Structure 1
Amino acid sequence: MADLPSHARVVIIGGGAVGASTLYHLAKMGCSDTVLLEKNELTSGSTWHAAGNCPTFSGSWNMMKLQKYSTELFGRLADEVDYPMNYHRTGSVRLAQTTARMEEFRHVAAMARYQGLDYEMLGPNELKDRYPYMELHGLQGGLWDPDDGDIDPSQLTQAYAKGARDLGAKIVRFCAVTAISQLPSGEWKVESEKGTIIAEKVVNAGGYRAAEIGRMVGRDVPTVAMSHQYLVTEEIPELAALGDKIPLLRDPDDSYYLRQEGNGLILGPYEWQATPHWLDKMPEDFSFQLYPDDLDRLEWYIEQSCARVPILGSVGVQKVINGPIPYTPDGNPLVGPAPGLRNFYEACVFSFGIAQSGGAGKTMAEWIIEGEPEWDLWVIDPRRYTDFATKRYVVDKAVELYQNEYAIGFPHEERPAGRPAKVSPLYEKLAAKGAVFGDRGGWERAVWFAAPGAKPEPELSYHREGNWYPSVAAECKAVAESIGILDMPGFSKFEVKGPGAADWLTGLIAGPLPKVGRVSLGYFCSEKGGVVTEMTLTRFGEDRFWLISAAAGEWHDEDWLRAHLPANAAFTLENVTPRWSTLVLAGPRSRDVLGQVTESDLSNAAFPWLSVQPIEIAQARGFAIRVNYVGELGWELHLPVEAVGPVYDLLWQAGEAHGIRDFGMYAMDSLRLEKGYMAWKQDLASEYSPLRSSLDRFIRLDKEAFIGREALLKEKQAGSKERFVPLVVEAKTADAPFCSIVWKGDRRVGLVTSGGYGHRIQKSIALAYVETDLAGEGEDLEVEILGERCPAKVAVSPLFDPKNERLRA
């Protein structure tokens, strides 16, 4: 047993598969001054009882990358570290009982093939060829993943541990952490049952105990332990007679997986009676323990799976595993910097920790050593949840997610659990007017407005159909022809003011600062040149600014800004998000309407496009910015939260004669696509530089040093491999989903980051990154939409009002 050293560059807390993988990857990258502390024995948490399935399938582009890396690593790890493992690459079949499920599979298969995974779409008889023990009733087809399989979780963890030890890293078992505090030097003092260790950086890899570790540093980790139950059958003669293992079978429409274990089968359902545990208090120690069996809640799933695979019902149950698995509200883990803390990271709350352990360890090591990972993994960034993720929210969302573990991720689904968390003062008023809401960074925002008497729930589909579609079209028409009003609570807002503020911001953004009284977009880059975030820079004075960014990015962006504050700065940085809200007024009649409720001069001469001015509306004082995300004449009105209701009422009264209409986020998304406006963490990501993103007009490489400048200079000299372009697509009834593939002949040449229908131009639009030599106007390409390749043509942005005449009107 290793002794506890007094100091380490990195301390990892938690000895499951993810903690051990992080230790191994750090050592592989040259950081062997690392210590892993484990409360009990390695694998004693969720790892030891995990089923060990290793899918590559994911509806998320970068989660697929992460899982693909894991399976590739599993294939070579035993030889790399000289430790034998039971890893079986059996392949898997996923069954589809509906047309929508087949569409989902076709989309994910296209993503997978672009990443080098050899997915195949199969008909019912082809499924039977791959898995002869199944019955075909109700099936439309399915998906074959040849790289799927299973691995022994304990052996995998021990292999990571051996590889790390061989490279000089240390593991101290039976060493529970009791306290963590940060020293004035910025280092962390980690106290344990075996003594104290000082660490430059700490990683919380505590699994279902991650919240305990978080509380030691004042962090409320959004997690709950769910009970996942699977059963293992007795030996099945048909399987015992085989030489090789049969593939995994997953039936997502009936919500279970089935795979061979020895000569029996494992059945693992994700049942509707999802069961959270330890809501009041977690046991002092639950190492290598399980919950009592509760097979009654699996009865329906057992019946369905036995009807699908009759040999399953031919034998009895040998054992039942009912153990804790940690869940976040969206089912994705927490990997990256912990919000509000310096040099403290999270690699925890994995619902699929075995399959994701390899990629997670790689990512965590890159965060620690290089300051950022290779892939943009916002989907697992701990800062994606802010203060709305309370205990009740986490439990409600985790239960909902568990129930929908295999559900199709439709583009217009707004799941209701845990909501509302944060609401605008207009919430009840808009709900009474037919608003259908969506959760955006915890804030309820109207996404569309149901017509009187219409069903307010959207009809879920990949297609441009259902009750929401005509309503969104009408909202777009109102904005284009008269006037629309949109309630936009939750914009992240940071005020920077005081001597040196302008110089500091100049060193952070890749372009120029706006002049006093003006606004501009600012792009903050990493050292590698990728886009970290986009903010609207509003300049009220020589050294006074507002930085406005996405609601979901509040903690992420504040972390970035505070991490780069100079010591003893004479200026201040304040998060003013809670005090302000925003109304968007847009359309050709917006000046007429706004002019009725304010004495401000709204003429072009007095209030030009891309400028900001104080504004008074009745008893409210705020700021009006002549900018919007929809490409029409209009203003963003930034108001104290308490003033939003009265101002909305005044604007509505003034606008009734002009045909004012509420519009929602779906209409805004349609309108912004026509203008080529980009969405953060959708079109803009840290994997893309502003040059690749065709944001050249916002970049000044000849200005003084800014973060990322050297990387951008190199890219400029070498030429960007890709460019961001709008595509006009000859789509049928479905627009391109996120991460649809762009083709040129028989070559995959690009990736769609946003797709939808432009109601003003009456065309389907895809915003995409394509190879640079194919980014010219008029280039003929194709976009693969749900398995069908549709003709597309490269256009010039913006598609609508190319000279911005309506914005300047």
Structure 2
Amino acid sequence: MKSYARIVVIGGGAVGCSAAYHLAKMGCRDVVLLEMDELTSGSTWHAAGNCPTYSGSVNIMKMQRYGVELYGRLAEEVDYPMNYTRTGSIRLAQSDERMFEFEHVRSMAKAQGLEYEMLTSSEMKDYYPFLETHNLEGGLWDPLDGDIDPSQLTQAYAKGARDLGVKIERFNRVTAITQTPTGEWRIESAKGSITCEKVINAGGYRGGEIAAMVGQYIPIVTLSHQYLVTDAIPELESRDKKLPLLRDPDDSYYLRQERDGLILGPYEWKATPYWLDGLPENFASQLWGDDLDRIEWYIEQAMARVPILEKGGVARVINGPIPYTPDGLPYIGPAYGLENFYHCCGFSFGITQSGGAGKIIAEQVLEGESEWDMWALDPRRYSDYATQKYVVAKAIEVYQNEYAIPFPHEERPAGRPAKTTPVYEKLKQKGAFFGSRGGWERAVWFPLNERPDEQTVSYLGERRNWNAAVKAECDAVRNRVGVLDLGGFTKYEITGPGATAWLDYMIAGKMPRVGGMSLSYFLSRKGHVMTEMTITRLEEDRYWLVSAAAGEWHDEDWLLSHMPGDGSVQFENLTDRFGTLIVAGPKSRDLLAKITKADLSNKAFPWLTIQNIEVGYAADILAMRVNYVGELGWELHVPMEYLGHVYDEVMEAGVDLGVADFGLYAMDSLRLEKCYRSWKVDIIHEYTPFELSLDRFVDLDKGPFLGREALKQHLENGIKERFVPLIIEATHAEAPYCSPVYLGDEIVGITSSGGYGQTIEKNIALSFIRTDLAVEGSRLEVSILGQRYPAVVSKEPLYDPQNKKMRDVL
């Protein structure tokens, strides 16, 4: 075995071999792959091998589409034969809400050039003659779906990688990983040690073991997944064409032809975790005994839907380990807090996603960022709250809901509450409904009168039971004063003699003056927006940086990985030490004046400035005159031990002013009216500040900053699309994420976030539109749940266009 390599990949399943192959394809041939057993052992060898392109996430759809396109040419590309069949697939819908989901996903696919089709019951019978169509509303046809032999796919990746110079070491278990004083990684294995610059953990369901070797807990649990294979069925023996793959998401199973029999794979409610006390050392190509009682109901449903299934006896049952994460999505990207260590594991659908995963991780390792923004798969999307108890609860929930409709505004209950502020119980007593954001419980809405038993979810806004409540909350903020407990706002303190120069280099815009603040954008070397933070300058070389709760570990890594090594800049994470109350609305000054002696006048406390104020027993509150809803107002950053007390003081003082709590749904409506971007919804790293229409936050003349030269090149090449607000002429449904925008029959853009503006009473879709059309008054159409609606490009912001209310200069 080599003693040194530039990159070591740990794990020889489909994903690990794909990573090695893609690294070599990108020109990095100094790669060694280590596998504890034979290639394809782990989850790969017993995977069913289904290859859908379908996904409710546009970038996961891109990843899976890339994979199936790769599989169509890989055998020839690497000269290795594979059994890969594109049969197409039918997804069944037993409700109109399921049809809405299909219509939306079909629209997303259309924007990528994928031609899905909506099917009637008779059309489904044409594709699948053995189908019973009772209680069906319709279905969806995916022409590129199919199946592949997982072992052959893995061996094809491996051959391609070897041919390009990659070294693959089988039967070579990794036993320890340490980082050397020079920052390189030393890996101990059964065959000796190897030192490398970078490590990719592609350990599959053993990914947690690899992470533990470098002192990390990565949220993965192993679940038992069963599928059964039937004997030959006479009706299939007589056919000369393979049946399409069939999925019944409402009854939670898939059914596909395997030779002359069928494979039935359910996702049952009795999801079963294994190995909570540690994985057995030598479990690699083994299975567990079958447990058909768990899936009996699903077998009965499938037999009723496809009666010929009953004619095939059970030839064998596959009951094997499959890794699950808290959201069912894999980990692809940098490990938190570690330099040059990456995770690429935790795949529940590793066969169809392996091709795209290899591309993504290779780009991240070699170029620093991938073509697509894969925040949904970033290992740092979970922080310290994601313990084993959390991951088990959420993984079981995900498995049970594997095929469930991904409704907008659905707040699933497992693994909650994880992190709460001292205000949480107070809001709970008021009947608030909550959602989890970055592990933190936040109120999403407050019932007006009697609390309903549950929150209704639907693609159609008119079916929601919280519309009137959210409208009332928006009215309170716009016309009186509202209060929001915004737990988990990420907060960092940056200090030191080099802090100012370093931060100035890190952001694209101007630095704030002492006592002031600015919204700032941090770019990659390619000029793409990696994150957004508010920078507040407390002293000459002392700053507070505030960003999204979900981005805590991502943003911390971004800052620390770019920090100078000379000790001139110090960093501290203050997130858990301070809570945040938003007090906003035209009467917010009147309210705060009752409880603090600070001068809150425009002259003494202008917009985008800060002061330390005292409220009640809390003597050191950092008050920032800024907010995300576009009104006169303040963010109060309060030491956590005083947060409950300060909340009580605020609410008591506001009684005669009509104070009201408001939640995240109201905040979202208010921010849409101001066209404020949301991180990792509107702001993704596929865009530059110019495409995001954030030109005013860029100063190309200030001197060097990270990404400046690339940004200038983007300008020279021309900005092909721009961020604009659209007003849509539809009231019953809002535009879901990634709804296509049309000019005639041409797709000219895509929405990023949408919702109803309760104040302006208009349906808003923030969108990226072809630059020549991104001008006020352009008339377009937006596809919402299969129907096109007229839309017009408007000018931002839609509410209070002169920002007079925030400035209080009416």
Match of 1:700 in 2: 699
Q: What residue identity is the alignment partner of 1:457?
A: E
Aligned partners of 2:723 and 2:766 also within 8 Å: yes
Structure 2 unmatched ranges of 5 or more: none
User: What is the number of residues matched between the two proteins?
Assistant: 806
**Does 2:365 match 1:358?**
no
Asked if 1:138 corresponds to 2:105, the answer is no
**Deviation, structure 1 residue 446:** 0.3
Partner residue of 2:48?
A: 51
**Which residue of the other structure, out of 455, 462, 475, is the alignment partner of 1:477?**
475
The alignment partner of 1:191 has SS state of: strand
- Please state if 1:244 is matched with 2:241: yes
- The whole-number CA distance in structure 1 between the counterparts of 2:57 and 2:539 is 42
Secondary structure at the counterpart of residue 516 of structure 1? coil
Q: Which of 226, 229, 232 is 1:232 aligned to?
A: 229
Which residue matches 1:527?
525
Moved over 4 A (4+): none
Measured after TM superposition, the shift of residue 204 of structure 1 is 0.5
Q: Tell me the residue number matched to 1:770.
A: 769
CA deviation after TM superposition for structure 1 residue 717, in Å: 2.0
The match for 1:606 is: 604
Measure the CA separation in 1 of the matches of 2:70 and 2:496. 51
8 Å CA contact 2:529, 2:686 repeated in 1 = yes
Counterpart Cα distance in 2 of 1:248 and 1:680 = 37
1:441 equivalenced with 2:427 (yes/no): no
Provide, for residues 164-197 of structure 1, a one-character-per-residue CA deviation record: whole Å limited to 9, x for no partner: 0001100000000000000011100000011000
- CA distance in structure 1 between the aligned counterparts of 2:272 and 2:569, rounded to whole angstroms: 50
The CA deviation string for residues 682-735 of structure 1, in whole angstroms up to 9 with x for no partner, is 000000110100000000011211111111101122221000000111113111
Q: What is the CA–CA distance in structure 2 between the aligned matches of 1:452 and 1:191, rounded to whole Å?
A: 63
Question: Any conservation in 2 of the 1:122–1:141 contact (CA below 8 Å)?
Answer: yes
CA distance in 2, matches of 1:302, 1:702: 67
Partner residue, 2:543: 545
The whole-number CA distance in structure 2 between the counterparts of 1:650 and 1:382 is 39
- Alpha-carbon distance between aligned partners in 2 of 1:75 and 1:513, rounded to the nearest angstrom: 51
- Specify which of 583, 600, 613 is matched with residue 615 of structure 1: 613
What residue number does 1:126 align with?
A: 123
- Of 272, 290, 297, the match for 2:287: 290
Q: Please name the residue that 1:783 is paired with.
A: 782
Aligned to 2:6: 9
| 1:464 and 2:455 aligned | no
TM-score between both structures, scaled by the size of structure 2: 0.99
Q: Distance in 1 between matches of 2:193 and 2:140?
A: 52
Over the aligned positions, Cα root-mean-square deviation in angstroms equals: 0.7
CA distance in 2 between partners of 1:117 and 1:467 (Å)? 35
Asked whether the equivalents of residues 434 and 452 of structure 1 are also in contact (C-alpha less than 8 Å), the reply is no
The answer to whether residue 734 in structure 2 is matched with residue 744 in structure 1 is no
Aligned match for 2:102, one of 105, 116, 137? 105
Q: 2:509 matched to which residue of 1?
A: 511
Q: How big is each residue's C-alpha offset from its partner over 1:640-685, in whole Å with a ceiling of 9 and x where there is no partner?
A: 0011111111111110001100000000000000000000000000
Aligned to 2:709: 710
CA shift, 1:338, in A, is: 0.6
SS of the residue corresponding to residue 600 of structure 1 reads: coil
Match of 1:679 in 2: 678
> SS of the residue aligned with 1:471?
helix
- 2:582 maps to 584
TM-superposed CA distance for 1:456, in Å, is 4.7
Does structure 2 conserve the Cα–Cα contact (< 8 Å) formed by 1:454 and 1:467? Answer: no
Q: Is the 8 A contact 2:245 2:254 kept in 1?
A: yes
Residue segments in structure 1 that go unaligned for 5+ positions in a row: none
Match of 1:265, SS? strand
CA distance in structure 2 between the partners assigned to 1:463 and 1:635 by the alignment: 34
Q: Which amino acid in 2 is paired with 1:53?
A: N
Aligned residue in 2 for 1:335:
332
Please give the per-residue CA displacement for 1:467-513, whole angstroms capped at 9, x wherever unaligned.
Answer: 21111111001111111000001011110011010100011000011
Distance apart, 1:569 and its partner CA: 2.5
Report what 1:319 is aligned to: 316
Residue 303 of structure 2 is aligned to residue 306 of structure 1: yes
Asked if the contact 1:434/1:451 (under 8 Å) is kept, the reply is: no
Check whether the contact 1:97–1:141 (CA below 8 A) recurs between aligned residues.
yes
Asked if the contact 2:92–2:140 (Cα under 8 Å) also holds between the matched residues in 1, the reply is yes
Is the CA contact 1:124–1:140 (under 8 Å) kept in the aligned structure 2? yes
Mapping of 1:177-256 within 5 angstroms?
A: 177-256=174-253
Preserved contact between residue 208 and residue 224 of structure 1 (Cα < 8 Å): yes
Distance, in Å, in 1 between the alignment partners of 2:517 and 2:241 is 65
Amino acid of the residue matched to residue 170 of structure 1?
K
Give aligned-pair identity as a percent: 64
CA contact (8 A) 1:20 1:161 kept: yes
Distance 2:543 2:241 in 1: 66
CA distance in 2, matches of 1:457, 1:517: 45
Post-superposition offset of 1:452: 3.1
1:397 corresponds to 2:403: no
Counterpart residue identity of residue 780, structure 2: L
- 8 A contact 2:578–2:638 mirrored in 1: yes
Q: After superposition, what is the alpha-carbon deviation per residue over 1:126-157, rounded to whole angstroms, capped at 9, x for unaligned?
A: 11111111001000101000000000000000
Query: What's the counterpart of residue 171 of structure 2?
Result: 174
Contact 1:333/1:348 (CA < 8 Å) preserved in 2? yes
Instruction: Indicate if the aligned counterparts of 2:563 and 2:569 stay in contact, CA closer than 8 A.
Output: no
Partner of 2:800: 801
2: distance between equivalents of 1:460 and 1:570? 51
Q: Structure 2 matches for 1:588-667, cutoff 5 A? A: 588-620=586-618, 621-667=620-666
Is 1:760 equivalent to 2:759 in the alignment? Answer: yes
Aligned partner of 1:267 among 254, 264, 267: 264
TM-score (norm 1): 0.99
Q: Which moved more, 1:424-433 or 1:453-462?
A: 453-462
Cα distance in 1, alignment partners of residues 566 and 416 from structure 2: 41
